[in-house]
């Protein structure tokens, strides 16, 4: 019998699973020039179905990788939500039409609806342009983590050993042993990676079962191009406009119609897309809803609200996305009473895919910094502390929401009831849009000097605002000056530089930043900067000479901005007050993922020295 030798290889990061979590991570790491591989057991990429609602914050972060333009071109934008309830004549009638997203600081104040296959294609094409392809028909068969503490704490070591099996190759070429510095399991709700380390999922299974169909409708329903939640006497449904002329219908199903009495599990053979559409048709009466196309995709599913007990093993193996948290994509519990009787299920707009993409956005820059030798391994612990907390908050909000819609409505007879305005207000918080994500104090989030920039909240993402480039008066969106490029950004709000007193303060601050012990020098990596300094002065574009700024504050002519109106006078000019920065100015450190990390007064640059010293490493 011939002896078979498995091929051995080394890689910095191995990603298992090419869904939104895995692809986002692979793309972000490829952007950061990290040596990354991504494998998926599926032979082909998905082309339809699954998640389809991208939240305002996720659009912002895709923009930070240069990926939003394509999404916005291909998606359907959902600006309005409509609520329908039973009418006196037995059908449904419009109760309220309102904005789908109310997050005043959202740069994109709408939801972008596009099928998950198309969203994944955006990542796949971007990765491909960076030389990274998904290795398909490939799955791990075993994973081992070294127990040697020296190896585990040495960021240059390869302590994870994964055996990969190729399903599409001849037997003697099937096996490969990969030695990885880090492994990321983005392998979905039934995560193999999670199970190998006995990570438990805590939470409960939702009691709602949904039938989902994607099709092109033929209808006289006036809200077919808005997100719509309807409850009729026949049950509840939910319509979502999609790219081109498509729509998705979610229909809440009765257990008896879809549960196999023997196994107690959802049985897809008991109901098909035609029956799901028929149920939707009944709920939408008196309006007509038929299809002009074949069914483009359909499913029946029920998911839990669960969070993994750990998101990492020794900061070497991580789980991200559905592998560490699952949410009922559209459903809460079935309420007995509702302020909007139609509101059985009022959803948090599609949190599964959004949470997955945001997990990877949070994790990728930290892994990249550690691999480059720029940050201490301890930085990686903030992935679990930040993202697990978010997942728990999301589920708590989901439950609170479900409970709220189960309360009796406020009426003359029931003064303790909940008003429809209260329900709507709760739904329309900036939490549901992803804008409200707030990371608590840690080594990468300071908790001092918030008062110097009250609109740049420590632990929250930098909100959008337009400033004028000092050299040529061109308006720039601040978020576009903070791309996800692995660099920390230092926003220097100089105050009014043309005021001689303030100028002296700024010059003294620059002298501090130029000292050898300043973080800018301490962590300088020749030829590969870790910081980008952006200056925003409270001066007028027609008077300000940006060449007067010390050179540290204008490393390139494109790095200096003024808080003034655009050349036509249409917008801008109130950035300091919007961000709560006073005339004394402020220093603001922004993390590579766009979240505010630290704030300091101009004359206390050592606050930032201490901030960076808590996780950064001096170049070897
Ligand atoms: C019907 C439906 C509707 C949904 N609607 C929405 C919505 O509107 N909005 C929203 O945000 N979310 C929605 N979701 C949820 C969304 O699809 C998921 O949250 C999202 O896909 C999670 O991304 P992920 O990358 O974590 O996992 P997945 O997308 O599940 O990807 C995991 C990948 O890992 C691969 N894999 C698994 N095991 C292995 C293994 N052992 N080896 C190699 N590869 C492996 C799989 O083939 C898959 O490609 C919906 C889900 C469903 C089913």
Average pLDDT, whole number, for the chain? 89
Give the number of other Cβ atoms within 10 Å of residue 89's Cβ.
Answer: 9
Give the number of other Cβ atoms within 10 Å of residue 176's Cβ.
Answer: 18
Residue 232 has pLDDT above 90, yes or no: no
- Distance between CA atoms of residues 67 and 122, nearest Å: 7
Mutate to test the pocket of ligand 1, among 19, 54, 357 (most ligand atoms within 8 A of CB): 19
Report residue 355's pLDDT band, with 50, 70 and 90 as the boundaries: very high
The whole-number pLDDT of residue 406 equals 47
Residue 388 has pLDDT above 60, yes or no: yes
Least confident of 331-340, 402-411, 532-541: 331-340
Atom from ligand 1 closest to the CA of residue 192: 41
Answer whether 331 contacts ligand 1 (Cβ < 6 A): no
Answer whether 302 contacts ligand 1 (Cβ < 6 A): no
pTM, two decimal places: 0.92
Mutate to test the pocket of ligand 1, among 46, 193, 356 (most ligand atoms within 8 A of CB): 356
- Mean pLDDT for 361-370 is 98
Residue 306 has pLDDT above 70, yes or no: yes
Atom from ligand 1 closest to the CA of residue 187: 34
Q: Judge whether 299 and 212 are in contact, CB under 8 Å.
A: yes
The whole-number pLDDT of residue 350 equals 58
Answer whether 462 contacts ligand 1 (Cβ < 6 A): no
The whole-number pLDDT of residue 134 equals 98
The whole-number pLDDT of residue 427 equals 62
Residue 348 has pLDDT above 50, yes or no: no
Ligand 1 atom 14: residue of nearest CA: 51
Q: Judge whether 52 and 200 are in contact, CB under 8 Å.
A: no
Report residue 172's pLDDT band, with 50, 70 and 90 as the boundaries: low
Report residue 473's pLDDT band, with 50, 70 and 90 as the boundaries: very high
Answer whether 352 contacts ligand 1 (Cβ < 6 A): yes
The whole-number pLDDT of residue 464 equals 97
Ligand 1 atom 39: residue of nearest CA: 187
Least confident of 353-367, 409-423, 454-468: 409-423
Peptide bond into 578 cis (omega under 30): no
At 315-328, the pLDDT tens digits run: 999 999 999 998 75
Q: Tell how far the Cα of 254 is from the centroid of ligand 1, in angstroms.
A: 24
Residue 337 has pLDDT above 80, yes or no: no
- Distance between CA atoms of residues 157 and 143, nearest Å: 16
Answer whether 355 contacts ligand 1 (Cβ < 6 A): no
Ligand 1 atom 53: residue of nearest CA: 50
The whole-number pLDDT of residue 344 equals 37
Q: Bigger pLDDT: 400 or 156?
A: 156
Report residue 335's pLDDT band, with 50, 70 and 90 as the boundaries: very low
Q: Tell how far the Cα of 328 is from the centroid of ligand 1, in angstroms.
A: 13
Find tokens 């900036």 and name the residue.
430
Report residue 233's pLDDT band, with 50, 70 and 90 as the boundaries: confident
The whole-number pLDDT of residue 411 equals 54
Report residue 202's pLDDT band, with 50, 70 and 90 as the boundaries: confident
Q: Which of 618, 592, 607 is CA-nearest to residue 512? A: 607
Find tokens 């490939």 and name the residue.
138
Q: Tell how far the Cα of 101 is from the centroid of ligand 1, in angstroms.
A: 24
Burial letters 540-566, b for 16+ CB under 10 A, else e? ebeebebeebbebbbeeeebbbbbbbb
- Mean pLDDT for 310-317 is 97
The whole-number pLDDT of residue 334 equals 41
Q: Which two tokens stand for residue 549?
A: 């700024």
- Mean pLDDT for 451-467 is 98
Residues involved in catalysis: 52, 242, 250, 329
- Report which secondary-structure segment, H or E, holds 219: strand 217-219
- Distance between CA atoms of residues 208 and 60, nearest Å: 31
Answer whether 16 contacts ligand 1 (Cβ < 6 A): yes
Answer whether 347 contacts ligand 1 (Cβ < 6 A): no
Answer whether 299 contacts ligand 1 (Cβ < 6 A): yes
Least confident of 262-271, 331-340, 471-480: 331-340
Residue 73 has pLDDT above 50, yes or no: yes
Residue 407 has pLDDT above 70, yes or no: no
Answer whether 211 contacts ligand 1 (Cβ < 6 A): no
The whole-number pLDDT of residue 270 equals 82
At 572-596, the pLDDT tens digits run: 999 999 999 999 999 999 999 999 9
Q: Bigger pLDDT: 234 or 13?
A: 13
Answer whether 434 contacts ligand 1 (Cβ < 6 A): no
Burial letters 335-364, b for 16+ CB under 10 A, else e? beebbbbbbbbbbbbbbbbbbbbbbbbbbb
- Mean pLDDT for 401-409 is 55
The whole-number pLDDT of residue 349 equals 41
Report residue 332's pLDDT band, with 50, 70 and 90 as the boundaries: very low
Residue 223 has pLDDT above 50, yes or no: yes
Answer whether 217 contacts ligand 1 (Cβ < 6 A): no
582 phi/psi in degrees, rounded to 5: -85, 180
Q: Tell how far the Cα of 322 is from the centroid of ligand 1, in angstroms.
A: 6
Q: Tell how far the Cα of 70 is from the centroid of ligand 1, in angstroms.
A: 21
Q: Tell how far the Cα of 188 is from the centroid of ligand 1, in angstroms.
A: 5
The whole-number pLDDT of residue 330 equals 44
Q: Tell how far the Cα of 72 is from the centroid of ligand 1, in angstroms.
A: 22
555 phi/psi in degrees, rounded to 5: -60, -20
Report residue 546's pLDDT band, with 50, 70 and 90 as the boundaries: very high
């Amino acid at each position: 019998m011939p002896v078979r030798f498995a091929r051995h290889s080394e890689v910095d990061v191995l990603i298992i699973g090419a869904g939104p979590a895995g692809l986002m991570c692979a793309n972000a790491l490829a952007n950061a020039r990290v040596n990354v591989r991504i494998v998926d057991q599926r032979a082909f990429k998905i082309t339809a179905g699954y998640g389809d609602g991208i939240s305002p914050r996720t659009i912002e972060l895709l923009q930070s990788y240069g990926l939003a333009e394509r999404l916005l071109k291909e998606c359907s934008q959902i600006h309005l939500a409509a609520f329908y309830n039973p009418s006196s004549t037995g059908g449904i009638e419009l109760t309220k039409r309102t904005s789908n997203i109310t997050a005043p600081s959202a740069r994109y104040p709408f939801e972008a609806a596009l099928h998950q296959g198309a969203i994944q294609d955006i990542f796949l094409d971007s990765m491909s342009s960076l030389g990274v392809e998904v290795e398909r028909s490939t799955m791990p068969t075993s994973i081992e983590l070294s127990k040697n503490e020296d190896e585990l704490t040495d960021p240059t070591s390869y302590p994870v050993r994964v055996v990969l099996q190729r399903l599409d190759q001849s037997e003697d070429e099937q096996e490969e042993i990969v030695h990885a510095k880090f492994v990321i399991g983005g392998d979905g709700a039934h995560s193999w990676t999670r199970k190998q380390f006995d990570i438990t999922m805590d939470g409960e299974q939702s009691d709602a079962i949904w039938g989902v169909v994607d099709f092109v409708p033929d209808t006289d329903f006036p809200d077919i191009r808005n997100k719509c939640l309807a409850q009729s006497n026949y049950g509840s449904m939910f319509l979502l406009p999609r790219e081109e002329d498509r729509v998705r219908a979610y229909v809440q199903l009765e257990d008896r119609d879809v549960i196999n009495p023997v196994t107690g599990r959802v049985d897809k053979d008991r109901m098909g897309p035609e029956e799901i559409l028929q149920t939707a048709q009944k709920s939408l009466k008196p309006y007509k809803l038929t299809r002009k196309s074949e069914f483009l995709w359909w499913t029946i599913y029920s998911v839990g609200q669960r969070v993994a007990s750990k998101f990492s093993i020794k900061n070497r193996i991580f789980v991200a996305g559905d592998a560490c948290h699952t949410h009922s994509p559209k459903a809460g519990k079935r309420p007995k009473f509702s302020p909007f009787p139609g509101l059985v299920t009022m959803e948090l707009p599609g949190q599964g895919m959004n949470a997955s993409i945001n997990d990877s956005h949070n994790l990728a820059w930290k892994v990249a910094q550690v691999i480059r030798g720029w940050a201490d391994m301890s930085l990686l612990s903030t992935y679990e502390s930040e993202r697990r907390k978010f997942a728990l908050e999301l589920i708590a909000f989901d439950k609170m929401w479900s409970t709220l819609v189960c309360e009796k409505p406020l009426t003359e007879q029931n003064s303790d009831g909940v008003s429809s305005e209260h329900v709507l207000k709760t739904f329309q918080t900036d939490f549901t849009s992803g804008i409200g994500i707030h990371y608590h104090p840690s080594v990468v989030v300071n908790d001092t000097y918030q008062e110097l920039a009250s609109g740049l909240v420590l632990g929250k993402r930098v909100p959008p605002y337009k400033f004028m480039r000092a050299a040529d008066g061109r308006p720039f969106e601040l978020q576009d000056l903070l791309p996800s490029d692995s660099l920390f950004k230092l926003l220097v709000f100089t105050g009014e530089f043309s005021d001689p007193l303030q100028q002296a303060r700024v010059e003294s601050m620059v002298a501090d930043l130029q000292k050898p012990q300043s973080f800018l020098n301490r962590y300088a990596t020749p030829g590969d900067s870790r910081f980008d300094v952006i200056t925003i002065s409270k001066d007028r574009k027609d008077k300000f000479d940006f060449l007067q700024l010390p050179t540290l504050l204008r490393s390139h002519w494109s790095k200096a901005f003024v808080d003034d109106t655009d050349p036509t006078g249409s917008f801008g000019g109130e950035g300091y007050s919007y961000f709560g920065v006073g005339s004394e100015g402020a220093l603001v450190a922004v993390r590579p993922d766009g979240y505010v990390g630290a704030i300091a007064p101009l004359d206390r640059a050592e606050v930032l020295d201490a901030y960076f010293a808590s996780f950064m490493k001096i170049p070897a």
